[in-house]
Amino acid sequence: MGWLAWQRFRCITNCTLYPDDCISDKLFRTMADLLVSEGYAAVGYNYINIDDCWLSKERGPDGRLQADPERFPYGIKDLAAYVHSKGLNFGIYEDFGNFTCAGYPGVIDNLKLDAETFASWDVDYIKLDGCYAELEQMETGYPEFGLYMNQTGRPMVYSCSWPAYQTEQGIDPNYAVLAEHCNLWRNYDDIQDSYASLRHIIDYFGQKQDNMTPHAGPGHWNDPDMLLIGNYGLSYDQSRMQMAIWAILAAPLFMSVDLRTIRPEHKEILQNTRIIAVNQDPLGIQGQIVYNTSKIEIWTRKITPVQGDQYSYAIAVVSRRDDGYPYRVQVPLRDVGLTNPSGYLVQDLYGDTTENQLLPDDLIDVRVNPSGVVFWRANIVTDLPSVTTIY
């Protein structure tokens, strides 16, 4: 969980025209400050991650990577130290190819040197992109870079991008190999600031879930890309829907928003601790779509607490409808896989904290806004009480 620059600030490098928005030391220190002062760090957002365009166009005389001297006058190690002083972790971006996607030096001929450089800068997280690289080199090159990361002795999270480039060419990624060598990996297209882009990625994860899901778990995650919440392209209901689906998918939660200007209702979504608890559930089981009728989807995820072979669940009822009225959904819990004989204590994660008990034959009975979501947590009940309340 954390904050990442790319979606909101892209590759803005002109600090004369855009002094407050350019990719610079100032921007990342500011966002680190806000992550702490505005309560994001307190609920789990603990990474500040640079993306592309931080580099100088040339390596230094010693062959090492170097930051742009005007935009990062104190260097990356000093910036990392500032981020660490706030109790946060620091992440950085590079590319496996000859160049980064924006045309800065890549790592292809300097894998060991660059891994050592990042470790010497006290980096905690490395995202390795795949522009300007040969596909056939990725399945050996990405693990090799990971090996050099480990040899530095510094623990660093490793985010791989090679499956995203494989899927572009119609190649099915080898998820077992990814889980062996990477902590998380981008599966598909870059997310853009629009509902259409968000739905495109959600649809892909639903279509490919049987291949993806078994390989997700603690230490190795499928990554559907950044949270758009608080930017320009999503409505309030669509923002709530993305947060719910990302929690169901056990996805990394990386905001990419201007924390100086975010609206209170979007901040409330991002800091919803009950939804964050679902996302961060210790079982690490990725959820799936289990129902799809009349443009209504139901996604479920197995979560704690667990008793025997019975799980608790997160349940997201998602509307793809656009007919302008909240659509009523009535589906028995049993039909979406909730079969615990003693039932479940159900709570609306976007509502108050009231819990209501439902049995497997009782209905999910809700009304869902167009392109919106109803998001429940259903904790297993171990003993059936004498009186039940129907939600």
Q: Tokens for 78, please give them.
A: 């000093």
Task: State the Cα angle at 183 between 177 and 189, rounded to 5°.
Answer: 80
Of the candidates 45, 123, 52, which has an alpha carbon nearest to the alpha carbon of residue 84? 123
Distances (CA, A) of 158 to 64, 73, 125, 155, 183: 20, 27, 6, 9, 5
Largest CA distance in the chain: 77
Q: What are phi and psi of 287, to 5 degrees?
A: -80, 175
Distances (CA, A) of 208 to 24, 69, 175, 203, 305: 38, 43, 12, 9, 27
Q: Read off the amino acid at residue 335.
A: D
Query: Token pair 């592309």 is at which residue?
Result: 52
3 state SS of 172: coil
348 in catalytic set: no
Q: Which of 21, 25, 52, 129 is catalytic?
A: 129
3 state SS of 186: strand
Of the candidates 302, 379, 299, 313, which has an alpha carbon nearest to the alpha carbon of residue 343? 379
203 in catalytic set: no
State the DSSP string of 287-314: -EEEEEETTEEEEEEEEEEEETTEEEEE
Q: Do 299 and 307 meet the contact criterion of CB atoms below 8 Å apart?
A: no
Residues 6+ apart with CB under 8 A from 338: 300, 313, 315, 344, 360, 378
Q: Which of 122, 190, 203, 348 is catalytic?
A: 190
Q: Whole-angstrom Cα distance, residue 282 to residue 47?
A: 19
Residues 6+ apart with CB under 8 A from 147: none
Query: In the chain, what is the straight-line distance between the N-terminal and C-terminal CA atoms, in Å?
Result: 33
Query: Token pair 């855009």 is at which residue?
Result: 18
Catalytic amino acids? 129, 190
